[in-house]
């Protein structure tokens, strides 16, 4: 009882350094916005789900000239997995959350995304 624990300066600085790195990772890397986007390096990661028979989120904001990696989570099923972005000439069947549609939006504007049957739709806003 009452034992004194001694920590040398190198160990203390190491602990502080690790804590600082963890905080930075949480603040900068794990930070997404309200539209489901997470910017990681030079790729915008977008994950879309399905809620009440609609894509969720149904409005996605991305930056022009920066690659987008779009995937669908486990909540998406049926024809909603067959994703199209007609104005960009894109169409991809994303069978599982591991499958991605990668593209680089070059032109600013609003683009419709939908399932192949247009039962579910959303909008990509390229800024």
pTM as predicted? 0.67
Neighbours of 9 (CB within 10 A): 7
**29: helix, strand or coil:** helix
Work out the end-to-end distance of the chain between its first and last CA atoms, rounded to an integer number of angstroms: 62
The pLDDT score that the predictor gives to residue 12 is 58
pLDDT above 90 covers what percent of the chain?
67
Neighbours of 92 (CB within 10 A): 17
The pLDDT score that the predictor gives to residue 34 is 36
Query: Each residue of 7-66: pLDDT tens digit?
Result: 677 765 666 665 655 433 343 433 333 344 555 568 999 999 999 999 999 999 999 999
For the chain, give every domain's residue range. Answer: 37-126
- List the CATH code of the domain at 37-126: 2.60.40.420
Q: Determine how β-strand 37-40 pairs with β-strand 54-56.
A: unpaired
Lookup: tokens for 47: 């994950």
As a whole number of angstroms, the distance between CA 55 and CA 36 comes to 12
């Amino acid at each position: 009882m009452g034992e004194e624990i001694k920590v040398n300066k190198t160990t203390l600085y190491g602990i502080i350094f690790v804590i600082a790195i963890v905080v930075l990772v949480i603040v900068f890397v794990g930070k997404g916005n309200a539209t489901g986007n997470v910017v990681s390096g030079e790729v915008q990661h977008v994950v879309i789900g399905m809620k009440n028979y609609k894509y969720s989120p149904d409005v996605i904001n991305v930056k022009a000239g920066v690659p987008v990696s779009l995937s669908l989570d486990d909540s998406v099923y049926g024809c909603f997995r067959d994703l199209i972005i007609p104005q960009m000439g894109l169409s991809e069947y994303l069978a599982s959350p591991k499958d991605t549609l990668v593209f680089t939006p070059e032109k600013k504007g609003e683009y419709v995304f939908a399932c192949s049957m247009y039962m579910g739709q959303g909008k990509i806003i390229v800024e």
